[in-house]
Amino acid sequence: MKPSSFHACDSVWRNRVAPRWADVRIADVRYTDVAAWVAELSAVRGPSLVRVAYPVLARILDDAMKDRMLAANPARGVKLPKQTPPPNVYLTAAQLDMLADEAGPYRSLVLLLGVGGLRWGEAIALRVCDADFLRRRIELHRNVVRVRSQFVVGSLKSHKNRTVVVPAFVMDALAASAAGKGREDLLWTAPYGGYLRPPGGESCSPARWPAARRPMRPSPG
């Protein structure tokens, strides 16, 4: 598991799963007990938390099956609460321009996130050498996540590098951000140096910013 995934899983175990299950023998876990636990969580917490906590228990029991400690997983088949996805909200091209202008030295970052579909961790990991200004492409090799108070650099979420084609007006903004920097320098840094914190402050989950609604404004010339 990547550090960010392990941290999230460990937190769920300590705060949501262990209080109920840590002292229960594997052989004593019953389907009805798991269903009752899910119902109790659903009554006091939202569906998203239940759908995060339940798999931690279920996967532990999956491992117990693989170790032949259980003939079947008593957690599998428990009905989980339905989760209604929130509606997507998109920026228009004009709104994206306004947001980017308000971002000051991070104008190019906002434009890239708005049209390129990059995850936050992919964007803040970009270095000058990752931008091909002639071919208008961004090469993605790294992803940065914040785990507790530390930044961890790893592979992309898909474990596969990829190339993103970027409009000319965004590349022009990126060129301005890269001016005067070395090839291995970060395109953007925090006010006091280092990687930028993710949106939402302490959140360690890479976030995808809304894409701008087409049509995009044409680049000059």
Extract the tokens encoding 191: 């006010």
pLDDT for residue 200: 61
Residue 187's contacts (CB-CB under 8 Å, 6 or more residues apart) are 108, 109, 126, 127, 128, 130, 131, 174, 177, 178, 181
pLDDT for residue 67: 95
Walk along the chain (221 residues) and give the pLDDT tens digit of each residue. 777 778 888 889 999 999 999 999 999 999 999 999 999 999 888 888 899 999 999 999 999 999 999 999 999 999 999 888 888 888 999 999 999 999 999 999 999 999 998 999 999 999 999 999 999 999 999 888 887 778 888 888 878 899 999 999 999 999 999 999 999 999 999 888 889 887 664 433 333 334 443 334 434 43
Nearest residue to 17 via CA among 50, 64, 63: 50
Extract the tokens encoding 215: 């049509």
Residue 133's contacts (CB-CB under 8 Å, 6 or more residues apart) are 171, 174, 175, 178
pLDDT for residue 21: 96
Cα-flanking dihedrals φ and ψ of residue 38, to 5°? -60, -40
Residue 194's contacts (CB-CB under 8 Å, 6 or more residues apart) are 151
pLDDT for residue 160: 86
Q: Give CA separation, 119 vs 17, 109, 112, 113, 199, in Å.
A: 29, 11, 10, 8, 11
pLDDT for residue 213: 38
Extract the tokens encoding 97: 């321009």
Altogether, the residues listed in the chain come to a count of 221
Residue 195's SS3 state is: coil
Q: What's the burial of 67, exposed, middle or buried (CB within 10 Å: 0-12/13-18/19+)?
A: exposed
